[in-house]
A and B are shown apart, each in its own frame.
Chain A
Amino acid sequence: MASAFEYAPAPESRSIVDIAPSYGLFIDGEFTEAADGKVFKTISPSTEEVLSEVAQAGEADVDRAVKAARKAFEKWSALPGSERAKYLFRIARIIQERSRELAVLETLDNGKPIKETRDADLPLVAAHFFYYAGWADKLEYAGFGQRTTNGHSGSNPRPLGVAGQVIPWNFPLLMLAWKIAPALATGNTVVLKPAETTPLSALFFADICRQAGLPKGVVNILPGYGDTGAALVAHPDVNKVAFTGSTAVGKEIARTVAGTEKKLTLELGGKGANIVFDDAPVDQAVEGIVGGIFFNQGQVCCAGSRLLVQESIHDELLDSLKRRLSTLRLGDPLDKNTDIGAINSAEQLARITALAEQGEAEGAERWSPACDIPESGYWFAPTLFTNVTQAHTIARDEIFGPVLSVLTFRTPDEAVAKANNTQYGLSAGIWTEKGSRILAVANKLRAGVVWSNTFNKFDPTSPFGGYKESGFGREGGRHGLEAYLDV
């Protein structure tokens, strides 16, 4: 609908980023072709334009990269922590310097709005390297006590060795930072596999490692598909496996490392409940609900994808929410005024579409604001489902898209019971003005992160991770060091 206050287009220039027509694997400090010469294309999900052709790592490449990381481990782990810290500080600074370039790159390759890459992803990426840089020479203060098993009693925390890391496409560079920063700070070396739809920012990171003078082999990047990740996880000379992605793949990885010495951390799916009580400040809650599910097109494991509204304010809240959704702007992710960008891939769009159709078929009521969908690229309008019950598929399965399921409750106990009625346990939100209620409800929620009167806040000092089938281990904060130390 046209109004007197239409926005003029405000596109960020893409000239700041120079994408090469092809990229290799990054092994032992060099870009190199895959052993079997395989390549794949990475495209921009908002335009379907081919951005670059990327080498696809196979088993032989995984082996080569693990060997390089193993060789580098000896010197890297022997460096004084204060020296490792300086490399990480350098990386953090270079990321800050190149932050605009990386934000545009990430928006092109992932489809998310520039205002999110610019204001959320990149500042957090740099912050993670800064935070963990400072830990590198302070590990004996990390509070892991003395270890009495495995034959070394009272020793200082030691690195594990080679870390095999597999990351998803929803926050390509941020997930890289979450994985690589603590691994390097603790003295491990890394072989990282970025997702097949978003390999570019990881390859740009390889260049940042070069600029920082990071020793060869400390960081290795292997673009590829699921089979590349599976080969990395299964490699006998990998000492630590870190994975962020789907619960199904997480379970497969847990089976793969069973019976080995490999230490494992998993950050998996979620079906976060955002609980709004009748005394919540409605406008703030609406902002939190919108951020909770439409941030990053809902492609967030800790998204608040189940809205639990106290019955007495259901209609009022839904009216406000729909009004607010009508102001969201979907379209060119490079436009600084865009709120909702493109879905990351055709495959993901098909999954979201199918689940939304199933929601309708099972009798939930579907609503979306009037919204123009661009002709090329992968798009899904922000979508609300009301009249949802706990039995509905859309209330149980992770959709990983801009789809919100609305349920109601009458008492705090019912809210808690419904919030906890899921195989997942990653995140939850509580909206109420009553402090005692926040604390009581937060206490009872089986979730690793509870946001009260806010949502989707992240910080490198703050541990993040799930209960139940949302995985195990924590990333971020002092707790995040444990995954990379023999403690």
Chain B
Amino acid sequence: MSRTRAVRPPRALLAAAVVACALAAIPLVYLLVRVGTAGLEDVVAVFERPRVPVLIGNTVLLAASVTLTTVAIGVPSAFLLARARLRGRAVWTVLAALPLAVPSYLAAYGWLAALPWMQGFWAAWFVLSLVAVPYVTLPVAAALRAGTTGLDDVARTLGRGPLAAFRLGTWPQIRPAVLAGALLVCLYTLSDFGGVALFRYQVLTTAIQQAYGASFNRDYAAILASLLVLLAVAVVIAEQFARGRAARQFGAVTGPARQRRVRLGRWSAPAVALLAVPPGLAVVVPVMVLMVRLFEAQTLREFDPAELAAAAGNTVLLSAGGAVVAVALALPIGILAARYRGRIIRAIETTGYLALGLPGIVVGLSLVFFSLAAVPALYQTAFVLAFAYGVLFMPKAIGGIRSATAQVPTSLEDVSRTLGNGRLRTWWLVTARLARPGIAAAALLVAVTAMKELPATLLLRPTGTDTLATELWSRTDVSAYGAAAPYAVTLLLVAAVPAFLLSRARAGAGELDEAVA
């Protein structure tokens, strides 16, 4: 039973996906406009700068190494969370998601305050890897929970060792999830500014920030940002090719998957150590540093609980709104990518992902540009900000929705259609119900990461409205780290709620390797 259909996608679905894709492309259109005003001469001049090749090289090196590291830590962590007999599994699962809520600049600051000699590539690699591990751990753990160990057992009875059995049985089941997670990590690393700036590692994002910061040169910034877009396109296409080869080998199965839990025995201690690394180093260390500063600080700015509560409330509502927008935009693209194939669909999916590879300041400015032109009445309202979160983080929802949809057997949809239900009603009654955990997980992932968003928030928020991230920034910006501590802690607590829900989300039905079965 093939997962995809060799038929044309319904027009309405395609239209919805095209609209979502157009909205996701706002930043790209904006960049084209800016690069256009710059003209060819300026573009050529950029490449004559001796620094630019260095910046591109550094960016690629960092993205590649952070991606590999998160896969190396994330896959075994996911295995422990999903398949091992582990004491306190629920707690570990929440902890595994928590680094997502830590703004990279906060993690970087915490480490720098503790170890002032940290700098350059290694420091940036270390901090970004820690913060980004959950992008791999969470989807892979969900895929493992949904999968089956039956195939490993078959391989073992045929005389394979445990690792070889894993490679033959389980690996093909989780490979799409690993790729989807690695893609998010890679795009995140391309676009991150906060984590690299403090360590004085020069990449494209730091140069973009400098272009806005000192030259007031929006065109130069746009040319550099376009380079980032090209890198992002290459990454997305590479992931599609890798996934395409993997995906064609599978059909979907439903029914309870057989799973054995692995006894850890003498591996317990190293297993717990591995699980403790990302949350311990990315969450606990920076917060401890802020706490120490809080008690060391000579002058404590007055702490206003009402201000904190208002910021927390705004953060929750805005990120929830952003999550809904992101899922609404990602749904048609995700369904399309799960069910149909073709160049147009690949192009739509690729475009959907690109905003994630851009720094927030570029996406923020593009939405200023767009909302003033299209909906001036909504400019600087919460609507536009929530919409911005949606556009920025929609890519984080596409992969989850795609794989959740792909796991719903098309035969069930066919049954519904023969009973006289229309496409939309069938989707609502059958597909959405079965894919719900995956869709919910996608929404939660967006919510958790929208909570810490800063650059686009500063540009688009209603004048005078604060979120936890902006309050945190206004304190760290004048190095009032002690005063920043309550906000950092609140941000983590607020983000722990979706992180907790996220950790419980299960992928839908598992996938079986037909080639082996």
Are these two chains actual partners, yes or no? no
> Which residues from chain B sit less than 8 Å from chain A, CB to CB?
none
